[in-house]
Amino acid sequence: MKLRVVDIEAMKRQGPPSLLDSLGIEITRITEDFIEGTMPVDHRTHQPLGMLHGGASVALAETLGSIGANLCVDPKTHYCVGLDINANHISGMRSGILTGIAKPLHVGRTTQVWEIRMTSDEGKLVCVSRLTMAVVAKKPA
């Protein structure tokens, strides 16, 4: 299954401000095979010891996987919501830009599974996450 490639700027204009705005998450690239986004590692995304908060990494992962999942379904008939997420924090990060790339592992009729790999500016693996999405049929109007 290929992702629907959409205009990122038009996508940003849809909907009210959200967690993406609060954490500085930006969608940087959408292809038929993956979605990429970034998040700054700064005071907004730090834990008390001044390192990247694991929950912020998970927020980036779920954002990318959720958008990607919804680009794999017909938005007139279905939508996708998170069902389960896990994350393995491989290395710490104190500053810079965290980049995530989300790729579908399984795109089915009722569920999707996505892998999100997050790396530092230097290309060092910081976090790997797996997200399971539920595919939900919209109720007729």
DSSP states of 90-129: -S---SEEEEEEEEEEEE-SSEEEEEEEEE-TT--EEEEE
Catalytic: 62?
yes
Identify the active-site residue in 26, 32, 36, 62.
62
Helices (H), the chain: 8-13, 19-23, 54-70
**What residues are labeled active site?**
62
